[in-house]
Structure 1
Amino acid sequence: MAEDQQGVARAGGPRKVRRAVAMLLVAGLAATCGARMPSAAGPGWHSPGLVGGGGWPFAGVPLNPDDEDGAAYLPGSSVVLLRDGRVRLVPLGGETAVTVPASDPRVAQAVRSDRRWLARGTVPGRTPLDREMAERALLDLRLLTRPNGASLASWYGPWRYAWPRDAAFAAAAFAVTGHAHEARQVLRFLESVQTDDGRWAARYHPDGRAVTDGRAPQLDSLGWVVWASWLVHTQDPARTGRQPELWRMVARAADRMARSLDSEGLPPPSSDYFERSPSTEQDPDSPTLGVVGPMLAGLRAAAALARERGDEQRELRWQEAARRLSDAVARRFAPYGYPRSPIRGGRMDTSVTFVAPPFAPQDPGVDAAVLNAAARLRLPNGGVLPGEKWAGNRTVAWTPETAMFALAAASAGRTDEARARLDWLARHRTSLGALPEKVDAKGRQAGVAPLGWTAALVLLTLTALDRPLPVPPP
């Protein structure tokens, strides 16, 4: 049906184009039925989603909340049909959105281009709602990724930066959905901004300049980037094997991780995805599971890459580092049920999923800890808090954390749980279907949308339900 509609649009003539657009609108409204959430007038970050176009560079401009009533994406695109029948898009090569009649030839051109890009990969999901959510997540990730490979967290000021952690997940999501070019572009950006000692700054401007706001490097990013590099390689080994700069990036990061381990096998304290000072933790002198989990996945992934390249010396070095770190996790975190800080009575948080599939082999003790953490963090609105005794608003659910538990469930074979969390995420998207950062107690958008990390995690979860994701070998 989609190809028939495109053919009508190509045939020319305002009447035929208007008819095609009308058909697209009906399909779009049907696809998003049940996936809408109440509109909430909010601060400057509020937007129901990004307006885009079909050409390179993929520019995303937020839709004004005043225009969201009755608006919908034309299916398979980032082009928005407004309530009055006009269309908003970013023309080919532009950076600013324009509003044009539905008969404008740029409308059909942009829709065709977006659909062709989607068709070059796969849209995961077993139900129409799954696939519609995945389609939107893919298109949003593309709009958030700049031509230089900088994958931005979102579009608004404090979010309009590239965090290595978030970017690593974007690369992974692009890879498992068949968009290898975009995955490699994200990794190339990360390679270009890596320091000689193997680390990354906490975040970067879209042009690659480090943000100098006093935040120290966050050691979990080393593990996440190396894990993502390995995952990208598993999906497209021929092409990544011809990119020596990606191997150099992995080697620098893996060596840094290995050198950072102390006599007990643990890295130093560092900020992680909570982005707060280690001094605020229950055990300020020890690393959190939010750092240890990604670093273990990264060292194992690096050893697997070295093995494939025939680099026995590095393989053995990184394997030994991974073994020491794994032993430290078993000794320091496992006895207490894998809390955030390795102490008796340690608080649970989402980082327990970082030592579960697809980041580590399945383990009954970890499975039990994941279920325990999910129960403790669950909110009445159905989402989860990032961690126990969260310092922020304790009635607001965070979508990346909810999606991380969904990914853990899908990767462990708990299909019903994964589906329930995905359904919750689908129900709490914006009126345009974008995944927001947060959801308040009344089910309303409470953070910027779209959020790239959540979009990537949803795509990984849907893929994991279709086929098992690879796990770095121990």
Structure 2
Amino acid sequence: MPIAARSDLRTLVESSLTLIEAHQHPSGAYPASPDYPVYRYSWLRDGAFIADAMSRAGRADSADRFLRWCATVIDARAGRITDLVARAERREDIGADEMLPTRYTLDGGDDDEPWWNFQLDGYGTWLWMLVAHAARHGRPLAAYRPAVTATVDYLIAFGDQPCYDWWEEHAEHRHVATLGAVLAGLRAVVHARDEHGEPLLDAARAAAAAAKVSEFEALIATEGTADGHLTKWLGSTAVDGSLLACLTPFDLVEPGSTVAERTYEEVRDQLLRGGVYRYLGDTFYGGGEWLILTAWLGWHEARTGRTEAARQRLEWIAAQATPEGHLPEQVSGHTQRPEYIAEWTERWGPVATPLLWSHAMFVTLALEVGR
């Protein structure tokens, strides 16, 4: 049946799960979007949240395949990570183009096309998702130890460096959502144990990771907070939609705390129209409303007892589906800078549709609301 009627959210949930499974590569990678040329790659960040939705929905095998792909990608670059960490310890200058990329080809290769590649959040997010999935489904972790160890080494060495944000912009800053993802990943593995009861990390790495967690927490509490709320980057006063992940599910600040409530309120009041903007002043396809962020807002609302508001977010997302049941990356009903739509359309084509991350976040919100 067409989803345009919006009368059966369960239908859209099921079709979303089917769509994600249908486009998962044999390697286990999820393409960001199968029909949008520059998104036919797999990002660790996007993929981890897609896999998390599949895990929550009971499609554990799909999540397993993605996590094994992540481990394969990291294992293949273990020597490169060792070299980068050694150079950092010698205080050598390391160019952003020498760091690990943010996206990979679906078979796990490096992307040869120019891109805004130096991003750190995906490396923390896959660690967080790995531990959460293993706990949820009782999955073994021992086989992941080499990849976890290499990722932790990379994040200890570079996790607080300036890099591109979630939106692949502003490489000169240290972004709070990125620090939150790195912190969440390190927190998850510090005390994690495998199926044999053995720690995933050796004692020295666990101590170093725990020290980084404390360092990041202090940094965010001081330079990453202004007027009582989390900020877009250290030293800023602005907010960004990606900060919602620091509240739910990363628990960067205590749910219900003053900082959590102020951050939620600022994002809602500044960025919510029908859906949620990435940030004020966005010009990408005119700076429209993003489905993943609208779902994130609803996810946090559902988690904090704002059930009716969360249901409204769910209904709004469902209303953006095409007749085929495909969810886009963003919509332009309340575009901030409509004069930029033609420029991006000419450059890359229409807005990415379907975006697998949009489908995944819709599923996550639907499960959280209980529909």
What TM-score, normalized to structure 2? 0.81
Deviation of 1:439 after TM superposition, in Å, equals 1.2
| Equivalent residue for 1:321, pick from 194, 212, 220 | 212
Alignment check: 8 A CA contact 1:254 1:299 kept: yes
In the alignment, the residues of structure 2 paired with residue 393 and residue 292 of structure 1 have an alpha-carbon distance, to the nearest angstrom, of: 27
Alignment check: 8 A CA contact 1:141 1:452 kept: yes
Question: 1:217-243 deviations in whole A, cap 9, x for unaligned?
Answer: 311111111111111111122x333xx
Deviation of 1:169 after TM superposition, in Å, equals 1.0
Question: 1:90-120 deviations in whole A, cap 9, x for unaligned?
Answer: xxxxxxxxxxxxxxxxxxxxxxxxxxxxxxx
Taking a change above 3 Å as real, the CA distance of residues 338 and 235 of structure 1, as seen in their structure-2 partners, is: same
Unaligned runs of 5+ in 1: 1-27, 36-127, 262-266, 279-283, 468-474
| Equivalent residue for 1:370, pick from 240, 264, 268 | 264
Aligned length: 328
Is it true that 1:288 corresponds to 2:171 in the alignment?
A: no
Aligned positions of 1:166-185 closer than 5 A:
166-185=46-65
Question: 1:398-426 deviations in whole A, cap 9, x for unaligned?
Answer: 21222222222222222122111111000
SS at match of 1:240: coil
Equivalent residue for 1:191? 71
In the alignment, the residues of structure 2 paired with residue 255 and residue 435 of structure 1 have an alpha-carbon distance, to the nearest angstrom, of: 37
Deviation of 1:397 after TM superposition, in Å, equals 1.6
Query: Could you say which structure has the larger radius of gyration?
Result: 1
In the alignment, the residues of structure 1 paired with residue 100 and residue 263 of structure 2 have an alpha-carbon distance, to the nearest angstrom, of: 30
Unaligned runs of 5+ in 2: 83-98, 336-348
Alignment check: 8 A CA contact 1:306 1:315 kept: no
Alignment check: 8 A CA contact 1:154 1:452 kept: yes
Question: 1:298-323 deviations in whole A, cap 9, x for unaligned?
Answer: 11111132496335614433222211
Q: Give the aligned residue type for 1:151.
A: Y
Deviation of 1:395 after TM superposition, in Å, equals 5.6
Q: Give the aligned residue type for 2:244.
A: T
Is it true that 1:269 corresponds to 2:148 in the alignment?
A: no
Is it true that 1:391 corresponds to 2:283 in the alignment?
A: yes
SS at match of 1:305: coil
Q: Give the aligned residue type for 1:343.
A: G
Percent of matched pairs sharing the same residue:
24
Alignment check: 8 A CA contact 1:395 1:441 kept: no
In the alignment, the residues of structure 2 paired with residue 355 and residue 366 of structure 1 have an alpha-carbon distance, to the nearest angstrom, of: 9
In the alignment, the residues of structure 2 paired with residue 376 and residue 442 of structure 1 have an alpha-carbon distance, to the nearest angstrom, of: 13
Q: Give the aligned residue type for 1:273.
A: W
Deviation of 1:272 after TM superposition, in Å, equals 2.2
Taking a change above 3 Å as real, the CA distance of residues 200 and 179 of structure 1, as seen in their structure-2 partners, is: farther
Q: Pick 1 or 2: higher relative contact order, CA cutoff 8 A, min separation 6.
A: 2
Equivalent residue for 2:89? none
| Equivalent residue for 1:145, pick from 24, 48, 53 | 24
Deviation of 1:446 after TM superposition, in Å, equals 5.8
Alignment check: 8 A CA contact 2:286 2:332 kept: no
In the alignment, the residues of structure 2 paired with residue 387 and residue 33 of structure 1 have an alpha-carbon distance, to the nearest angstrom, of: 29
Equivalent residue for 1:248? 146
Q: Give the aligned residue type for 1:224.
A: T
In the alignment, the residues of structure 2 paired with residue 396 and residue 190 of structure 1 have an alpha-carbon distance, to the nearest angstrom, of: 31
Taking a change above 3 Å as real, the CA distance of residues 400 and 248 of structure 1, as seen in their structure-2 partners, is: same
SS at match of 2:5: coil
Higher helix share goes to which structure?
2
SS at match of 1:165: helix
